């Protein structure tokens, strides 16, 4: 039976929230504070990409926000041609402003839903997706995106994800919801916890780490790896 996502946030609502929040997503040192271990997962994803593709020339950053992951990637593999995708035009403008001075390569902006991306086959060395895939809804969306990214990568190219995740066990879901809630309260008290949990419930439909690792394998990635997991967040990916 298909899940009904009709009461979830629309793309327009998600875009409007992010349009107003570019500064919060522009701190390269802290990342997004509501994301546990944000600086560590950014470091690990970009370091894994550097190790997998040290001579990369082509980068795609899906849901790039204000450009943190691309900037971190450029600090490790310089002068990449960067394709930046996001729903939010202000986020893309901020990313372009920050990224352009850091590379002699091209910087291309694509303002669109990631599901609509029309990507050339075997083109990218590295694809990054940070805190964005959890906006995908049904299984068809997830299959579509993972297949799209796999086809867009060159042989040997790599795809690295840092994201909010779900859990397959109800017991473990409760465990990590409690732990994440306690963490959020340290940032802003019970009211902030409610605010964050409310917009996660309305906007987000994450899948478990198990689900996504299996999907990476199913679409064809020859190697899949978990880089880090802490509570309801993980960094992981695959090499084509």
pLDDT along the chain (240 residues), means of 10: 72 67 58 84 98 98 96 98 96 96 98 97 98 95 98 98 97 96 93 91 94 98 98 97
Which DSSP string corresponds to 39-85?
A: HHHHHHHHHHHHHH-TT--EEEEET-TTSHHHHHHHTTS-S-EEEEE
User: Are 55 and 81 contacting, i.e. CB atoms less than 8 angstroms apart?
Assistant: no
Beta bridge partners of 107: 82
Which pLDDT score, from 0 to 100, does residue 116 have? Answer: 97
User: Are 35 and 132 contacting, i.e. CB atoms less than 8 angstroms apart?
Assistant: no
Which pLDDT score, from 0 to 100, does residue 60 have? Answer: 98
CB crowding 123-156: b at 16 or more within 10 Å, else e: ebbbbbbbbbbbbbeeeebbeebbebbbebbbee
Which pLDDT score, from 0 to 100, does residue 28 have? Answer: 56
CB crowding 56-89: b at 16 or more within 10 Å, else e: bebbbbbbbbbbbbbbbbbeebeebbbbbbbbbe
Which pLDDT score, from 0 to 100, does residue 92 have? Answer: 96
Q: 81 φ, ψ to 5°?
A: -75, 125
Q: ∠ CA(23), CA(89), CA(149), 5° rounding? A: 100
Domain segments of the chain as ranges:
11-165+206-239
**Ramachandran area for residue 229 (φ above 0: left; ψ -120 to 50: alpha; else beta):** beta
Distance CA 1, CA 58 (A): 40
Using CA atoms, how far residue 196 sits from 2, 66, 67, 95, in Å, is 27, 20, 22, 24
Token readout for 117 is 């991306």
Which pLDDT score, from 0 to 100, does residue 24 have? Answer: 58
Which pLDDT score, from 0 to 100, does residue 7 have? Answer: 77
Which pLDDT score, from 0 to 100, does residue 22 have? Answer: 58
CATH architecture group of domain 11-165+206-239: 3-Layer(aba) Sandwich (3.40)
Which pLDDT score, from 0 to 100, does residue 5 have? Answer: 77
Q: What does the radius of gyration of the chain's CA atoms come to, in whole angstroms?
A: 17
Which pLDDT score, from 0 to 100, does residue 54 have? Answer: 98
Which pLDDT score, from 0 to 100, does residue 99 have? Answer: 98
């Amino acid at each position: 039976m298909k899940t009904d996502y009709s009461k979830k946030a629309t793309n327009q609502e998600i875009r409007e929230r992010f349009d107003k929040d570019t500064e919060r997503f522009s701190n390269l040192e802290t990342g997004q504070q509501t994301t546990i271990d944000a600086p560590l997962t950014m470091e690990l994803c970009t370091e894994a990409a550097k190790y997998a593709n040290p001579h990369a020339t082509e980068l795609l950053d899906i849901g790039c926000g204000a450009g943190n992951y691309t900037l971190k990637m450029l600090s490790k593999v310089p002068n990449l041609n960067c394709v930046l995708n996001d729903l939010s035009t202000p986020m893309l403008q901020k990313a372009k402003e920050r990224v352009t001075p850091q590379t002699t390569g091209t910087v291309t902006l694509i303002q669109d839903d990631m599901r609509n991306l029309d990507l050339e086959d075997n083109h990218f060395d590295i694809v990054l997706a940070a805190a964005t895939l959890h906006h995908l809804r049904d299984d068809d969306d997830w299959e579509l995106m993972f297949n799209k990214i796999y086809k867009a990568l060159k042989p040997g190219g790599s795809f690295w994800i840092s994201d909010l995740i779900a859990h397959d066990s109800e017991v473990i879901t409760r465990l990590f919801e409690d732990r994440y809630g306690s963490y959020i309260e340290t940032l802003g008290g019970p009211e902030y916890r409610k605010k964050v949990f409310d917009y996660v419930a309305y906007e987000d439909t994450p899948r478990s780490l198990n689900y996504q690792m299996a999907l990476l394998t199913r679409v064809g990635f020859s190697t899949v790896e978990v880089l880090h997991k802490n509570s309801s967040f993980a960094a992981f990916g695959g090499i084509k």
